[in-house]
């Protein structure tokens, strides 16, 4: 049973997560020979000030400002 954990900045819609889950599940079935119903995907939303790249918080990295502006808010409940 493949367990796939995905960490994302908050802000993706349910439809985006659903599409991602469908496509990754198909890939796991094809590449790993897993049964579709056994592929588990867990999404965790991580705020931009809880992620650092190269020692710089994503919330403070000017090279990531457009991504953070779009997806860097607080985690959603849905």
β-bridge mates for residue 12, sequence order = none
3-state secondary structure 8-66: ECCCCCHHHHHHHHHHHHHHHHHHHCCCHHHCEEEEEECCHHHCEECCEEHHHCHHHHH
Q: What is the DSSP letter of 67?
A: H
- Coil, strand or helix: which one is 68? helix
* Catalytic residue status for 2: yes
Write out pLDDT tens, residues 1-38: 999 999 999 889 999 999 999 999 999 999 999 999 99
Domains and CATH numbers, the chain: 3-71 (3.30.429.10)
Write out pLDDT tens, residues 29-51: 999 999 999 999 999 999 999 99
pTM: 0.79
CA distances from 75 to 26, 32, 60, 72 (A): 27, 31, 18, 9
């Amino acid at each position: 049973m493949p367990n796939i954990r995905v960490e994302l900045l908050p802000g993706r819609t349910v439809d985006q997560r659903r599409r991602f889950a469908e496509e990754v599940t198909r890939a796991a079935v094809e590449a790993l020979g897993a049964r579709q119903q056994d592929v588990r995907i867990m999404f965790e939303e991580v705020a931009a000030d809880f992620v650092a790249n190269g020692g710089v918080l994503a919330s403070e990295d000017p090279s990531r400002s457009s991504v953070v502006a779009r997806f860097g808010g607080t985690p959603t409940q849905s």
